[in-house]
């Protein structure tokens, strides 16, 4: 921690939040809000004179509420930067009648009640997301009595109680009578590995953390009786089994079974734990002085902010999704962004450090290059076809199109900023915009190849590169079986799916068409898939007016982690496909027989205009 504060190459921005990110790999522009701490962190020498005079007391979050802090405080004794901060919600303020005491005693004059938030602009080539985790709140598990019985604590509270820098200076005492307990129990998997409450996943660290706690207690208080209630002990890492053995050798009893009930003896405040020991099959009761709930790890509950800023995905569990679970475990799907620590999945200190070093090394590959290649998948405009209507500009999530409607200056793509979603191409009413490597011609050729034989047997599926296509991949990796009738056309974003493509598929006899993309918060092109939704809704109206059942065009949001959902959607589509009659397909084909692509219409118009002009000239 201290090394970070001292390192000449690290600019530390604490009490700060990232508010905006734009740009692309190698060239991100970032806006950070540095919130006012009301104490100049560079001047403050942590003399604590202010702390002594502050009359306010509020619960100390760092000590898990076991003790109190002042309104002017340090988050922890070893804080980096080593500076005080004022909690303005608790502070009585700079009213000489009310308070202002800290200001009076501060020799360095580093307190400023009027300090303002500061906005800082940064330019960076790579971003590492290490936003960490939250912990499970066991309140909902009534049977453990966390909120009812004071001597039931969480494993995070245990850490503060046993710490020399904690509220009891490291004397491990139970809250009700401040005596060192003689018997203590630990309940494992609190909020983890449960289908009903909490989370389904294993939180990875809790078994070893409890084992560590028992060894620590045995070191501090030899003879203390300890019981661990567990499902399985997962001691799989290097040196883990040794520590587990040490705990057992110290006499810790491991009882296989999670308690069904915890009661309190109102007189002694001791806890009576009822558990079915699944090894013996007997129901046992254990009287304990204290009980520690080994709580699980949660994804950051405020993670959606960073997710949107960096267009990341999250797994069904809520942790950030890596680019590939095996081969690119620290790359985020967004180029130039990397993941480290519990933001990606629960892990211990060693694994966090390992992953962080890996993320740093991956970032260095980019940062140590003077120049990098970027994919050539960007939009392009046919200037002649463009009417400068500005619709593409409105649709572009990056606003990387220059166009002047008033002066009829046709659209021009700022290629360095174009991320290549293709929404402009799909929205252009004149077919003037297309995308490199995902051109109209290429996609139309795919549609034709799908439907030139047995069209009635096939479903046309448009899948976006980042979510639904990867969802299909995940269904494959998971060997989820579904009917073989769908044919996938990959586009970078569902925003690329032009109405011409959908109508053309119906014209060629497609019974069912699916447009699929990322969930709204997950779109890799900010909010391009909102345009997909609008477009599909318009198409539903159009189909209905034509007398075509709108249900034949389906819209689904499938994330990269939703292999199950992809397979389910494929099965549902197949049921729908079977119900589509030959007659209605023929009817649709007939209704669309005069379908002309937008670009064809525009070309015809241009030619007609030209002919007219020539005629006038003659």
Confirm or reject binding of residue 54 to other proteins (CB under 8 A). no
* Site string (453-492) toward other proteins, x via CB under 8 A: x----x------x---xx-xx-xxx-xxxx-x--xxxx--
Residue 611 CB, nearest approach to other proteins (Å): 26
Task: Pick between residue 196 and residue 326 the one whose CB is nearest to other proteins.
Answer: 326
- Binding region for other proteins (CB under 8 A) out of 96-104, 109-117, 136-144, 154-162: 154-162
Nearer to other proteins, 257 or 563 (CB): 563
Strand pairing of 27-34 and 16-24?
Answer: antiparallel
Decide whether 437 or 545 has the Cβ nearer to other proteins. 437
Does 373 help bind other proteins (rule: CB under 8 A)? yes
Does residue 565 contact residue 526 with C-beta atoms inside 8 Å?
Answer: no
Tell which residue, 346, 316, 344, has the closest CA to residue 330: 344
Q: Is 240 in the site for other proteins (CB under 8 A)?
A: yes
CB of residue 502 to other proteins, shortest distance in Å: 17
User: Under the criterion CB under 8 A, does residue 250 sit at the interface with other proteins?
Assistant: no
Distance, CA of 334 to CA of 524 (rounded, Å):
8
68 binds other proteins (CB under 8 A): no
Look-up of token digits 């919600």: 89
- Using rule CB under 8 A, residue 239 touches other proteins: yes
- How many positions of this chain bind other proteins (CB under 8 A)? 130
The beta strand positions in 50-116, using DSSP E, are 58-59, 68-69, 72-73, 85-86
**Residue 234 interacts with other proteins (CB under 8 A): yes or no:** no
| Options 47, 369, 414, 606; binder of other proteins; rule CB under 8 A | 369
φ, ψ dihedrals at 292, nearest 5°: -110, 125
Q: Quote the least distance from Cβ 78 to other proteins, whole Å.
A: 5
Q: Name the residue nearer to other proteins (CB basis): 343 or 515.
A: 343
Distance of alpha carbon 90 from alpha carbon 55, whole angstroms: 10
Stretch that binds other proteins, among 3-11, 425-433, 517-525, 582-590 (CB under 8 A): 3-11
Q: Segment 279-308, which members bind other proteins (CB under 8 A)?
A: 306
- For the sheet with 512-517, list strands across it: 486-491, 459-464, 512-517, 553-557
Q: Does 355 bind other proteins (CB under 8 A)?
A: yes
Q: Does 81 bind other proteins (CB under 8 A)?
A: yes
Residue 564 touches other proteins, criterion: CB under 8 A: no
Burial of 501 (0-12, 13-18, 19+ CB in 10 A): buried
Which part of the chain contacts other proteins (CB under 8 A), choosing from 97-105, 189-197, 252-260, 356-364? Answer: 356-364
The residues in 375-394 that bind other proteins, with binding defined as CB under 8 A, are 375-377
Residue 246 or 549 having the CB closest to other proteins: 246
Answer whether 102's CB lies under 8 Å from 108's CB.
no
Residue with smaller CB distance to other proteins, 61 or 541: 61
Minimum distance between the CB of residue 479 and other proteins, rounded to whole angstroms?
Answer: 5
Residues 499-528 that bind other proteins (CB under 8 A): none
**Bridge partner residues of 395 (DSSP):** none
The SS3 assignment for 221 reads coil
Cβ proximity to other proteins, 145 vs 341, nearer residue: 341
- Give the span between the Cα atoms of 514 and 329, in whole angstroms: 31
Residue 90 contacts other proteins per CB under 8 A: no
What are the residues whose beta carbons fall under 8 Å from the beta carbon of 553, sequence distance 6 or more?
502, 506, 512, 513, 514, 515, 536, 539, 540, 543
Q: Which of residues 434-453 bind other proteins (CB under 8 A)?
A: 436-437, 439, 441-442, 445-446, 448-450, 453
**Binding flag, residue 27, other proteins (CB under 8 A):** yes
**Cβ 283 to other proteins shortest distance, Å:** 32
| Region of 537 on the Ramachandran plot (φ > 0 left; ψ -120 to 50 alpha; else beta) | alpha
Question: Which helix (H) or strand (E) element contains residue 614?
Answer: helix 598-617
List phi, psi (to 5°) of 6. Answer: -95, -20
Interaction of residue 318 with other proteins, rule CB under 8 A: no
Question: With binding defined as CB under 8 A, does residue 80 bind other proteins?
Answer: yes
Q: Tokens 């211990």 sit at which residue?
A: 348
Q: Does 366 bind other proteins (CB under 8 A)?
A: yes
Residue 48 within binding range of other proteins, rule CB under 8 A: no
- Give the long-range contacts of residues 595-599, CB within 8 A, separation 24 or more: 595/503, 595/504, 595/507, 597/431, 597/440, 597/500, 597/504, 598/428, 598/429, 598/430, 598/431, 598/498, 598/500, 599/385, 599/430, 599/431, 599/432, 599/440
Q: Which C-beta is closer to other proteins: that of 24 or that of 557?
A: 24
d(CA 94, CA 112): 9
Report in angstroms how near the CB of residue 222 gets to other proteins at its nearest: 16
The interface region with other proteins, picked from 132-140, 274-282, 425-433, 529-537 by CB under 8 A, is 132-140
CB 192 within 8 Å of CB 201 = yes
Tokens of 432: 């003037």
Q: Which x/- pattern over 394-433 shows residues binding other proteins (rule: CB under 8 A)?
A: ---------------------xx-----------------
Contact with other proteins (CB under 8 A) among 36, 92, 162, 576: 162
The pairing of beta strand 72-73 with beta strand 85-86: antiparallel
> What backbone torsions phi and psi does residue 77 show, to the nearest 5 degrees?
-60, -35
Closest approach of Cβ 295 to other proteins, in Å? 12
Taking CB under 8 A as the rule, does residue 97 contact other proteins?
A: no
Residue 502 is encoded by which pair of tokens?
């959908």
The interface region with other proteins, picked from 225-233, 235-243, 527-535, 608-616 by CB under 8 A, is 235-243
Residues 582-611 that bind other proteins (CB under 8 A): none
Q: What SS3 state is found at 213? A: helix
Minimal distance in Å, beta carbon 181 to other proteins?
17
Candidate segments 248-256, 364-372, 539-547, 610-618, binder of other proteins by CB under 8 A: 364-372
């Amino acid at each position: 921690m201290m090394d970070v504060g001292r390192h000449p190459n690290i600019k530390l921005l604490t009490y700060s939040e990232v508010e905006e990110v734009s740009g692309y790999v190698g060239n991100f522009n970032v806006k950070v809000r540095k919130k006012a701490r009301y104490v100049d962190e560079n001047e403050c020498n942590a003399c604590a004179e202010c702390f002594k005079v502050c009359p306010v007391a509020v619960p100390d979050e760092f000590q898990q509420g076991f003790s109190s802090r002042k309104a002017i405080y340090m988050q922890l004794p070893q804080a980096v930067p080593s500076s005080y901060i004022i909690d303005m919600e608790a502070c009585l303020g700079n009213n000489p009648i009310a308070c202002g005491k800290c200001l009076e005693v501060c020799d360095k004059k580093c307190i400023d009640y009027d300090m303002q938030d500061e906005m800082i602009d940064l330019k960076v080539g790579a971003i590492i997301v290490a936003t960490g985790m939250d912990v499970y709140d066991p309140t909902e598990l009534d049977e453990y009595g966390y909120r009812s019985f004071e001597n039931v604590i969480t494993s995070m509270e245990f850490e503060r109680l046993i710490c020399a820098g904690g509220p009891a200076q490291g004397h491990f005492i139970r809250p009700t009578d401040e005596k060192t307990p003689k018997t203590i129990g630990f309940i494992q998997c609190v909020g983890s590995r449960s289908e009903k409450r909490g989370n389904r996943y294993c939180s990875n660290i809790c078994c070893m953390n409890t084992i560590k706690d028992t060894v620590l207690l045995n070191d501090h208080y030899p003879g203390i009786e300890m019981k661990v209630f567990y499902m399985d002990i997962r001691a799989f890492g290097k040196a883990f089994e040794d520590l587990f053995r040490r705990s057992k050798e110290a006499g810790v009893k491991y009882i296989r079974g999670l308690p069904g009930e915890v009661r309190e003896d109102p007189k002694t405040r001791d806890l009576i734990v009822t558990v079915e020991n699944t090894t013996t099959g007997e129901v046992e009761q254990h009287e304990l002085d204290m009980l520690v709930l080994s709580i699980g790890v949660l994804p950051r509950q405020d993670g959606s902010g960073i997710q949107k800023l960096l267009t990341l995905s999250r797994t069904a569990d809520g942790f950030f999704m890596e680019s590939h679970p095996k081969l690119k475990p620290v790359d985020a799907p967004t180029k130039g962004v990397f993941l480290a620590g519990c933001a990606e999945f629960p892990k211990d200190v060693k694994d966090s450090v390992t992953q962080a070093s890996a993320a740093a090394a991956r970032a260095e590959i980019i940062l140590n290059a003077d120049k990098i290649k970027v994919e050539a998948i960007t939009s392009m405009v046919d200037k002649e076809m463009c009417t400068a209507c500005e619709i593409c500009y409105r649709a572009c999530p990056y606003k990387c199109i220059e166009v002047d409607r008033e002066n009829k200056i046709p659209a021009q793509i700022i290629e360095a900023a174009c991320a290549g979603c293709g929404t402009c191409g799909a929205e252009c009413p004149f077919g003037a915009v297309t995308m490199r490597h995902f051109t109209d011609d290429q996609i139309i050729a795919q549609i034709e190849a799908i439907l030139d034989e047995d069209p009635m047997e096939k479903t046309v599926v448009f899948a976006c590169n980042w979510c639904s296509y990867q969802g299909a991949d995940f269904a494959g990796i998971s060997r989820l079986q579904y009917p073989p009738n769908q044919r996938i056309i990959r586009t970078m974003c569902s925003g690329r799916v032009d109405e011409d493509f959908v109508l053309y598929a119906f014209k060629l006899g497609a019974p069912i068409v699916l447009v699929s993309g990322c969930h709204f918060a997950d779109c890799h092109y900010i909010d391009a898939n909102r345009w997909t939704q609008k477009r599909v809704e318009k198409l539903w109206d159009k189909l209905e007016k034509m007398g075509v059942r709108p249900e034949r065009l389906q819209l689904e949001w499938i994330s990269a982690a939703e292999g199950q959902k992809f397979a389910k959607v494929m099965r549902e589509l197949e049921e729908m496909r079977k119900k589509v009659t030959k007659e209605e397909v023929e009817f649709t084909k007939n209704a669309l027989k005069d379908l002309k692509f937008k670009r064809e219409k525009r070309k015809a118009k241009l030619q007609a205009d030209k002919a007219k002009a020539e005629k006038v000239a003659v």
